[in-house]
Structure 1
Amino acid sequence: MNIQSILIIGGGLAGFTVAQNLRSRGYAGRLDIIDPAGIPYDRPPLSKGYLLGDKDAAGIELAPAAWFTEYRVGLVRATVRALELEPLGVELEDGQRLHADRLVLATGGSARPLPIRGGDLGSVLVLRNKEDADRLRTKIVPGTRLVIVGAGLIGAEVASSALALGAEVTLVDPVDPPLVPAVGPELARRLHAMHGDAGITVIHGTPVGIARTQGGHRLEMADGQVVDCDEVLVGIGIIPNTELAQAAGLETDNGVLVDTNQRTSHPGVFAVGDMARTRNADGTLLRRGEHWEHAMNTGATAAAALLEQELPVHGASWFWSDRHGTHVEGVGDMNAEGTTILRMNDGEPVAAFRIAADGRMLGAAAIDGGLTIRAARRIIDKGIIVQPVSLADPGVPLKKLAR
């Protein structure tokens, strides 16, 4: 191996993690991150602390400017127009060409537009980057009538933050309740009910059109209901940014296809984060991961693979979210085939565990139960068999069961 230069295209968490891990693993060659945003920053605070004003732009940076100087990681503030595979490199928007021994794609995803009449209006808001959050923040003042389409993690977080900023929030989703695959139906129902309890208007239905009005916007529902508002924000997931890869001839299928080393169909090009989709050796395709820890894990794997070092072993997938002063976490697969064991407190479910027929834990979710999820992850990763009666007993600390 004689890698003297690596270009990372995309400065989100996944791309930054590649750079961070390359240096910590001993790579001493040239290393640059190309991104129009400059210093990489964290995305989760955009719907919470940054939107609320509790954190400023410097407060969400993944590392200060001094870190990039100390570890000799160049920041190229530019947009990539095209990938070049022979020789390996990129063409920037201004026509400049940069070449390297290896390329890492970390271009993330773009907000999925509503596939309805008016869904592509320029006035419809989304939340994917700092500029989106800045725009949204300027639109929200006390009394702003905000409709959010999509009550998943992002929609729920923005609804909670917007309410705290004084907006009159309406949350629209055809699914009742959302998040069942992530946390199970019992916790999903409790979490979704928090919106109404907090004063948010919740509509279960399907939008069919958005139109501009003199005073703002009008959302039309399939059942004929009309919702007038000032602003509309759409949070229904992302579309992976695969345009560069496709144009260069790399294999894609709802993401850039990679092997378990994060290597694409070109041996010198790797892909990480939201836009990468793993193809197993037998040809089966896994679902793309779109959560924070997945970005870190794929970045760490790619760094090890680039240096031909032993790949890191990652535990069961984990995510978290916040709404209305409540913290929710999940680990593993709550949608896997099996049965659910609930842990109750004062008649309300506080944790749910998905158990296979052979007794193995497959997934877990909890409300304000970080220690529970940490223990559940160990139980899942170690294959520890826990008796259902113990899982259901709120008096039994899960940490005790994870030993």
Structure 2
Amino acid sequence: MNVSSVLIAGGGMAGFQTASSLRELGYAGDITIVDASTAPPYDRPPLSKDYLLGSSTIEHLAFAKPEWYVEKNIALVLGSAITALDPDSGTVTLANGRDLCADVVVLALGGAARKLPLDTGTASNIHTLRTVEDANALHAAISVGTRLLIVGAGLIGAETASSAATLGATVTLVDPFEPPLVPVVGLDMARYLHAHHAGSGIRTIQGSLTQLIADDSGDYVAAVLESGERLDIDQILVGIGITPNTQLAVAAGLEVDNGVIVDSNHRTSHPRVFSTGDMARTRTADGELARRNEHWESARLSGTATARGILGLEPDHADSHWFWSDRAGIHLEVAGDMSAAAESVFRGSTQDDSFVLFRVNGSTLVAAASINDSMAVRAARRIIAAGTAVTAADLANPAVNLKKLTRGIAS
């Protein structure tokens, strides 16, 4: 198919990267990014950190300056959501009634924050954190002494707890798992991270809510735990994951199963529609449906892969899974699958300011997680991607240069 125009629905990392990669790969046709936000495409991870703290602005979060879009000849259509997609004609209809048409449509609509089942939907003091508007509302609601209940101690919940405590809030973090995040960081690192909250004055509770109590205005003033304990609160943040925004795809008749189903080129069940980022779910060559990834790096790589797919290019070699998180003065990085069957090997100790936890299966490095040591994870990613043989002794020994291990040079 001759592609003279591409319309990208969604201005998050995956959508932006699709547009950027198309130009980098030499595509000269029309590119349009459509997004419901009035802000040009911007980065989401800082929303729970610098932006919430007030030390960053929406201009700092922007992926590119306005002149970049002019230089790259990429049109932005902002401030109106897409309400319908006709895949046969490549036409999308906006909430303002406008129709736009392209040879290829890319769905990069991300996901929506899951709602708390107990929430009636009438309270003004319950929050989620997915957009700059969400962050603005949460920041305005927090001041010194604000009693903030955070439900869900995953990455967003934990990062926001740290920022809110810095702003002077009294933070309680509730999660049904003890410790949280085991599937993504492994048990040892999960224990370390969760215990770290106490140093910021954050109370952590293992459990679930059974009731939310509202006042006459409809705002929540207390939450009751399954233990029977009542927590008096001023604000609530819900951080219990996302659901992919597949409504448009479902209505358009695309194949959907906890995400829009795509092949290795990110093409959906309709030949002129692609999907990328958090909302896309890949069917592998053997027919298996892969797990959706909801991290920044995954979205970036997904965007690049989508651009290559549109242009009929083979996918790049897949890099190892990688993400990061910042909270209370510590920087976490993870590469690979920390939940895979493997032996834990520490370089350093959890008592140190920085350390690395490797996961090793025989001579194969399957994953690594570090605190305040980005270079170690960078080396680990190269080792994992190349399949370079390693030994537990070399990984544990701080005298062994990890960079040399990437070249197969052992001690």
The equivalent of 1:294 in structure 2 is 298
What's the offset of the Cα at 1:157? 0.5
| Aligned AA (1:321) | S
The whole-number CA distance in structure 2 between the counterparts of 1:322 and 1:24 is: 31
Match of 1:354 in 2: 359
Using the size of structure 2 for normalisation, the TM-score is 0.94
Q: Where do 1:291-370 residues align within 5 Å? A: 291-345=295-349, 347=351, 350-356=355-361, 358-370=362-374
Conserved? CA contact 1:9–1:33, under 8 Å: yes
* Cα pair distance change 1:346/1:320, threshold 3 Å: closer
SS of the residue corresponding to residue 345 of structure 1 reads coil
Give the counterpart letter for 1:36 in structure 2: A
Q: Could you say what secondary structure the match of 1:210 adopts?
A: strand
**What secondary structure sits across from 2:223 in the alignment?**
strand
Cα separation, partners in 2 of 1:267 and 1:169, compared to 1, 3 Å: same
1:187 to 186, 189, 194: 189
Q: Does 1:65 align with 2:31?
A: no
Distance 1:347 1:386 in 2: 25
Query: Offset of 1:338 from its aligned partner?
Result: 2.1
Cα displacement (A) at 1:16:
0.4
Counterpart Cα distance in 2 of 1:308 and 1:117: 46
Q: Which residue of 2 aligns with 1:41?
A: 42
1:385 paired with 2:389, answer yes
Specify the alignment match of 2:141 in structure 1: 139
CA–CA distance in structure 2, aligned partners of residues 232 and 62 of structure 1: 30
Equivalence for 1:75: 76
The secondary structure found in structure 1 opposite 2:348 is strand
Tell me the TM-score normalized by structure 1. 0.96
- The amino acid that maps onto 1:123 is N
Moved more, 176-185 or 375-384: 176-185
Distance in 1 separating the partners of 2:198 and 2:171: 10
How far apart are 1:342 and its partner, in Å?
2.2
* Mapped contact 2:18–2:303 kept (Cα < 8 A): yes
Q: Is the 8 A contact 2:12 2:110 kept in 1?
A: yes
Shift of 1:182: 1.7
SS of residue in 2 equivalent to 1:217: strand
The secondary structure found in structure 2 opposite 1:104 is strand
Q: Contact 2:14 / 2:303 at 8 angstroms: preserved in 1?
A: yes
> In 1, distance between residues paired with 2:6 and 2:343?
47
- The ranges of structure 1 where at least 4 consecutive aligned residues each deviate by more than 6 angstroms after the TM superposition are none
Identity of aligned residues (%): 50
Q: Determine the structure 2 residue equivalent to 1:56.
A: 57
Would you say the 8 A contact 1:118–1:210 is kept in 2?
Answer: no
Task: Tell me the amino acid that sits aligned with residue 6 of structure 1.
Answer: V
Count of residues in Structure 1 that have an aligned counterpart in Structure 2 = 402
Secondary structure of 1:23's counterpart equals: helix
Q: Report if the CA contact (8 A) 2:264-2:315 is conserved.
A: no
Q: 1:272-307 CA deviation, whole Å, 9 max, x = no partner?
A: 000000011222111001000011111000101111
Contact 1:183 1:352 in 2 (8 A): no
User: Distance between the aligned counterparts of 1:55 and 1:266, measured in 2?
Assistant: 41
The AA in structure 2 aligned to 1:17 is Q
- Residues 262 and 283 of structure 2 are in contact (CA less than 8 Å); yes or no, is this contact kept in structure 1? yes
Q: Does 1:21 align with 2:25?
A: no
Post-superposition Cα deviations, 1:68-118, rounded to whole Å, max 9, x if no partner, equal: 111110011121010012211101112221111000000000001122364
Is 1:202 the counterpart of 2:207 in the alignment? no
Contact preservation (8 Å) 1:321, 1:328: yes
Quick one: distance in 2 between partners of 1:195 and 1:324?
Answer: 8
C-alpha change, 1:117 and 1:75, in structure 2 (3 Å) is closer
The yes-or-no answer on 1:283 pairing with 2:271 is no
| Equivalent pair of 1:112/1:235 in contact (CA under 8 Å) | yes
* Equivalent AA in structure 2 for residue 55 of structure 1: S
Contact 2:265 2:314 in 1 (8 A): no
Whole-Å separation in 1 of the counterparts to 2:121 and 2:341: 36
1:192-215 CA-to-partner distances (Å, cap 9, x unmatched) read 111112211111111122222368
Q: Secondary structure at the match of 2:319?
A: coil
Q: Deviations over 1:315-343 (max 9, x none)?
A: 10100000101000000101112222222
8 Å CA contact 1:218, 1:226 repeated in 2: yes
Residue of structure 1 aligned with 2:261, choices 253, 257, 262: 257
Stretches of structure 2 that go unaligned for 5 or more consecutive residues are: none
Deviates more, 1:114-123 or 1:23-32: 114-123
Measure how far apart 1:398 and its partner are: 2.0
Q: Is the 8 A contact 1:345 1:394 kept in 2?
A: no
Contact 1:105 1:270 in 2 (8 A): yes
What is the aligned partner in structure 2 of residue 150 from structure 1? 152
Cα offset, 1:386, TM superposition: 1.0
Structure 1 counterpart of 2:370, which letter?
A
Assess, with a 3 A threshold, how the Cα gap between structure 1 residues 366 and 119 changes in structure 2: closer, same or farther. Answer: farther
C-alpha separation in 2, matches of 1:210 and 1:119:
12
Q: Any idea what SS the aligned residue of 1:262 has?
A: coil
Residues 201 and 355 (structure 1 numbering): CA distance in 2 closer, same or farther, change over 3 Å?
same
Give structure 1 stretches of 5+ with no counterpart. none
- Note if contact 1:8-1:104 (Cα within 8 Å) is conserved in structure 2: yes
CA distance in 2, matches of 1:382, 1:52: 39
Letter in 1 for 2:29: G
